[in-house]
Chain A
Amino acid sequence: MPEPADTLTAVPLGSSFGKNLGAEARADDGPVADGTLAEPAPRAGRRYRGWYRLISPVAVVLLWQAVSSAGLIPAQKLPPPTTVWHTAVSLVTTDSPAYGTLPDAMLVSLQRMAIGFAVGGTVAVLLALVAGLSRLGENAIDPLLQILRMLPLFGLIPVFIVWFGIGELPKIILIAIGTAIPLYLNTFAGIRSVDAKLAEVGQVLRLSRGETIRHVVLPGALPQALTGLRQSLGVAWLALVVAEQVNANAGLGFMISQAAQFLRNDVILVALAVYAILGLITDGLVRLLERRALAWRRGLLG
């Protein structure tokens, strides 16, 4: 018998920088922040026969290696997997004057991501609570977020450079906004979709406002908020990649722009692969969180 997650997961449509941004079927229930980023999750069914899903990617890598070894593609344009691997190893083990080391670059990028994501996520949940729990809050906050949502995020970069310079701040703000919008929209919709009958139960049981939020509102909004969280992760990684390539003197994006100047496609591929792997890891963490936090729904699904 297939596990429930299989039935919920749609076919992947594509990926951006190797990151498959999760949005299960539930995403249809509410507003989706950015249609181009709300790609369905491709990696369900990990527990059973999950390794079947590795066959096609491994086949592609083998084909790539074969084509390169046969000399059909110039190594200058697309270096073979073995070269990329060796480059990765040397980037980890040696401190090159042009690129620094890979772990250092990763650390810088991860730190930007973590700060931006934490700030954007916290602000989004707070705004969603205020807007979700009162009509006044909705009227004050929702229009602003709807406007912000329609602004092209990366079109803000030149403005941010004028306002905040070229340091860490504009990058972090960009990531924070990218995180906040999908999370806000989904959490807000999740709060509004909480069953009014359950809210009445809270009233009858004389729950305080805090108890009602903790026991009724937040758990009720959680499924959709987590869908939003996975969309947010996708947008945030994308924002990181873009922000790092516009102006940076450290991090994975800096490594890529340096490598582009030296025509080192192998280095670029290593950096892209690291982005992809980090994206997969964070998406996996949210999936794990979903599994634990939404355990109560298994009764419904199976």
Chain B
Amino acid sequence: MASRAAGIAGSAAADPSGGTGPAARVRGLSRAFDGRPVLDGVDLDIAPGEFVAMLGVSGTGKSTLLRALAGLDREVTGELSAPGPVAVAFQEPRLLPWRRVLANVSLGLRADDPADVARLALAEVGLTDRARAWPLTLSGGEAQRAALARALVREPGLLLLDEPFSALDALTRMAMHRLVLRLWEHHRPAVLLVTHDVDEALVLADRVLVLASGRIVFSGPVDVPRPRDRDHPGLTALRNRLLTELGVNTEGQ
């Protein structure tokens, strides 16, 4: 393992406010599993408050990069820093089934009155009346909203979203997209959303990245004002470009 071993924990205290530097800074990040490189020298900056979506076909290391930023992978090499608090919402809600919804949101919260803060967060995601519910009684969308509340209640400088909507039905997913945008506009964390849904990336993000063969092969802004319709003509060119980058043949469309 290289001497420049990355770790979020060591850098967390550097600048709690996020300051003027990037909300996340990645340099030369590499990770191999059993000798097979998954990340191969990734460079990435995410500005404070910037909403970045990362696309890539399965197995390109999207989740590996996100897990490294979350401090869940100690085996990566390279430079990695995220000065503010980092919060994560996973593909599965990962609520503790033996704690009620409110206790899940306030878990590990360092505040004078964690329950009150958590109640506000639940109100923001529209789950006030489920605060006392057991997680196993929630619907998929409710559980994912609770997970979002748990992430946002920590006022993160960087919010990592690991395909959090992929297990939801289409209607719930659209409602979640609106909710995430509203929360983001209110709290303004930098967001890294990992997804394999091109339209989701186009509707939500300021900037879209494509990860392929362990490197970022494309990075481009989405220059359409929100709220965006996925059929907006301004998105067509970028969509085709992204699909090409992802290896999907768009000829003949």
Residues on A facing B (Cβ under 8 Å): 197-198, 200-207, 211, 215-216, 219-220, 222, 295-300
Contacts and interface: CB of A to CB of B under 8 A. Distances in A.
Nearest to B99: A215
Contacts, number: 53
B70 A295 contact: no
B46 to A, nearest CB: 18
B94 A198 contact: yes
A297 B72 contact: no
A255 to B, nearest CB: 44
A296 B94 contact: no
5 nearest interchain CB pairs? A299-B136, A299-B137, A205-B108, A219-B98, A296-B134
A205 B103 CA distance: 13
B47 to A, nearest CB: 23
Nearest to A211: B108
Given A203-B71, A203-B72, A207-B108, A219 B134 contact: no
A204 B88 contact: yes
Contacts of B71: 203-204
**Majority SS of interface residues in chain A?**
helix
A295 B94 contact: no
Nearest to A294: B98
Given A215-B96, A219-B96, A296-B134, 12 more contacts: A198-B94, A200-B72, A200-B94, A204-B86, A204-B88, A207-B108, A215-B99, A295-B134, A296-B97, A296-B98, A299-B134, A300-B136
**Majority SS of interface residues in chain B?**
loop
24 contacts: A197-B92, A197-B94, A198-B96, A200-B72, A201-B94, A202-B108, A204-B70, A204-B71, A204-B72, A204-B86, A204-B88, A207-B107, A215-B108, A216-B96, A219-B96, A219-B98, A222-B98, A296-B136, A297-B97, A297-B136, A298-B134, A299-B135, A299-B136, A299-B137
A42 B108 CA distance: 41
Contact of A206 (B96, B97, B108, B150): B108
B86 to A, nearest CB: 8
A220 B94 CA distance: 13
B90 interface: yes
B87 interface: yes
Nearest to A206: B108
Chain B interface residue count: which class? 20 to 34
Most chain A CB within 10 A, of B86, B90, B97, is at B97
A208 to B, nearest CB: 8
Contacts of B88: 204
Most chain B CB within 10 A, of A204, A215, A295, A296, is at A204
B176 to A, nearest CB: 19
A297 B134 CA distance: 8
B72 A197 contact: no
B138 to A, nearest CB: 8
A300 to B, nearest CB: 5
A299 B98 CA distance: 11
Nearest to B147: A201
Contacts of A296: 97-99, 134-136
Nearest to A218: B98
A298 B98 CA distance: 11
Contacts of B99: 215, 219, 296
A224 to B, nearest CB: 13
Contacts of B70: 204
A215 B72 CA distance: 19
A203 B86 CA distance: 11
Contacts of B94: 197-198, 200-201
A216 B108 CA distance: 12
